[in-house]
Amino acid sequence: MLSREEAYNLICELNEEAYTAAYDDWVEADYMEDEDPDLAEEMREDASYQQAIEFREAFQVLDDNSKESILHYAKVDEDFAQEFNAWWGEE
């Protein structure tokens, strides 16, 4: 089993990779802010959704030990769970 720190570092890496994959969507939303703030907000929601999809897909290809460790800490550590669930997003 991974330590809490190792599991946390791993989900941070997954989120960073997911953000990188959705980066262009985030940038487009930022550029739209001055023209149409409502559309920019919708675009941010889409970017967030895309980032969550990327995060989930990356999580699914982890080895079983890593997945089990992350899910363990998500159950027993409120701070860990809060970040993990935010990055996992709504399905």
Distinct helix (H) and strand (E) counts, the chain? 5, 0
Q: What is the pTM of this model?
A: 0.88
Distance CA 3, CA 35 (A): 46
Region 56-84: mean pLDDT is 97
Report pLDDT for 89: 86
CA gyration radius for the chain? 15
Distance CA 23, CA 12 (A): 16
For residue range 15-36, what is the model confidence (pLDDT) as tens digits?
999 999 999 999 999 999 889 9
Distance CA 61, CA 56 (A): 9
The continuous run of DSSP H or E covering 90 comes out as: none
Q: Does residue 38 register a pLDDT over 80?
A: yes
Structure-block tokens of residue 52: 């969550």
